[in-house]
Each structure stands twice: as structure tokens, then as C-alpha cells.
Amino acid sequence: MEVLEGLEVLEGLEGLEEEHGYR
């Protein structure tokens, strides 16, 4: 399912943003 993969990617991006302090 591409949808599940997309959700995982979004969650990963959110984690990177928190680590780098983008938001």
C-alpha cells in the first residue's frame, strides 16, 4: 500500500523537523 508508505514518510519528516528545529 503506497498510502501506508506515505504516512510513514510524513511521520519521518515530522521527526526530522523536530530534530533540526525547523518548526
At 1-23, the pLDDT tens digits run 688 888 888 888 887 777 766 55
Q: What is the 3-state secondary structure (H, E, C) of the chain?
A: CHHHHHHHHHHHHHHHHHHHCCC
Q: Distance (Å, rounded) from C-alpha 17 to C-alpha 23?
A: 6
At position 10, the amino acid (one-letter code) is: L
At 3 the pLDDT is: 82
pTM of the model: 0.34
Closest CA to 15 of 1, 7, 3: 7
Q: Residue 22's pLDDT is what?
A: 57
pLDDT for 1 equals: 63
Q: What is the pLDDT of residue 9?
A: 86
Q: How far apart are CA 8 and CA 2, in angstroms?
A: 10
* The predicted structure's pLDDT at residue 8: 87
* CA–CA separation, 10 and 23 (whole Å): 15
